[in-house]
Amino acid sequence: MFRRTTLVLLLSNTRKTELPPASATRVFLNSLGARTAPFALATLFLLSPPPAAARTVRIKLATLAPKDSSYHRSLVAMADQWKKAPGGGATLVIYPQGVQGGEAAVMQKLRAGQLQAAMVTAVGLSEIDGSVAALQNTPLLFRTLEELDHVRDKLHAQMEKKLADRGFIVLFWADAGWVRFFSTEPVVRPADLRKLKLFVWQGDNQFVDMIKSAGYQPVPLETSDIYPALQSGMIQAVPSPNTFALSTQLFTKANHMLDLKWAPLVGGAVLSKKVWDTIAPETQKAMLAAAQQAGRQMKTESRREEEQALQTMKSRGLIVHELTPKLEGEWRLVAELAYPYLRGKMVQAELFDEVRNLLREYRGEKPLPPANGKKQ
């Protein structure tokens, strides 16, 4: 305090004429004399404002992925790279295992700004824009994960633009393998599943209405409620990928699995565009590169782990029910009967048609005829 007051008084005794900073400094130093000049220089240095520090953004990300799973480990690795990004980087705080709630709750918090990012399935992403549903909401459409890769590679740019227009940047796309039916009783044909109370994601009201009309018994719940609901008998069947069934131990209650690739479980990570736009371009570039590396790693790991998870569950008592071509035909008929309902209601009509034609192109088949006389 003494040094600051002394400096102010000394400066007040210099000439009244306004001078550029360099000239004012010379006058000040001359007035003090050679002996006190070093002290004055040190004082000026101490009182000068420090250079602006690079701004570090803090981002909170929620996911249902279990802690210490390969998905979680990939996010942790991404967070480490974000810290090292140029321009101050970013601090990523990860909330795994549904600690911020199910996907419906996470998306609400994301829109409210309580979270800045989320890694969710197509169900959550569809709350931002329905285009993502084209990759997941059409059962038995994809035959292989390579087909999924082909379609996603063709469509990701337009889906990312739609999500950006609604305020969210896609960091990466990912998938968790095939959804299969796990149940407390054997299920081998559609009629068997109609007898059981079936878990569906809470908030997916259109899907609930659709399967109710087809004679099924949907029970909307958050993902965190699956295991206790199986214990209590509230639900008796769960559509789930192998890795999730193993990590949550739901297979210990629903110990029958139908070996039918119902649909791929597709998802990705998104970040608030409002937050993204505050980040320097050089930092954005490094963050996006790290994020896409995480997405590639997740895809590779999840596909490797899918078969491993199945073998582990079988060794612990899971009963797998194989399908004959005739039984698979029954399921395919049920799925295809739902396509007219899905098109335009749960999946945007143009994208529904485009996905089907991209698959036919990939398989070397002719494109479908235009719907309602319009070009597909």
Asked, for residue 331, whether it belongs to a domain, the answer is: yes
Domain membership flag for residue 11: no
Write down the pLDDT at residue 371.
Answer: 66
Tens-level pLDDT at each residue, the chain (376 residues) = 433 333 333 333 433 444 444 444 444 334 444 444 444 434 434 444 444 445 789 999 999 999 999 999 999 999 999 999 999 999 999 999 999 998 989 999 999 999 999 999 998 999 999 999 999 989 999 999 999 999 999 999 999 999 999 999 999 999 999 999 999 999 999 999 999 999 998 877 888 988 998 999 999 998 889 999 999 999 999 999 999 999 999 999 999 999 999 999 999 999 999 999 999 999 999 999 999 999 999 999 999 999 999 999 999 999 999 999 999 999 999 999 999 999 998 899 999 999 999 999 999 998 888 765 444 4
Q: Are 243 and 309 in contact (CB under 8 A)?
A: yes
- Residue 220 forms part of a structural domain: yes
Tell me, what's the pLDDT at 13?
40
- Report how far residue 252's alpha carbon sits from residue 34's, in angstroms, rounded to the nearest whole number: 86
List of residues 6+ apart from 252 with CB closer than 8 A: 316, 317
Q: What is the C-alpha separation between 183 and 245, in angstroms, rounded? A: 11
Distance CA 373, CA 371 (A): 5
**Residue 45 is assigned to a structural domain of this protein:** no
Establish if 8 belongs to a structural domain. Answer: no
Please state the domain count of the chain. 1
For residue 26, the tally of other CB atoms under 10 A from its CB is 12
CB hemisphere CA count around 291 (13 angstroms):
21
Residue 1: the pLDDT is 40
**Distance from the Cα of residue 163 to its chain's centroid:** 12
Q: Mind giving me the DSSP string for 291-350?
A: HHHHHHHHHHHHHHHHHHHHHHHHHTTPEEE---HHHHHHHHHHHHHHHHHHBTTTB-HH
Rg of the chain over Cα atoms, rounded to whole angstroms, equals 29
DSSP H helices in the chain: 2-12, 21-32, 37-47, 70-83, 103-112, 122-125, 145-165, 190-194, 205-213, 226-232, 242-247, 273-276, 281-315, 325-342, 349-363
Contact 177, 302 (CB under 8 A): yes
Between CA 353 and CA 364 the distance in angstroms is 16
The reported pLDDT for the residue numbered 169 is 98
CB–CB of 179/245 below 8 Å?
no
Q: Quick check: is 47 in a domain?
A: no
Whether 147 is in a domain gets the answer: yes
CATH code of the domain in which 143 resides:
3.40.190.170
| Cα–Cα dist 250/253, whole Å | 6
Name the residue range of residue 165's domain.
57-373
DSSP string computed for 145-168:
HHHHHHHHHHHHHHHHHHHHHTTE
- In a domain, residue 144? The reply is yes
CB 125, CB 267: distance < 8 Å: yes
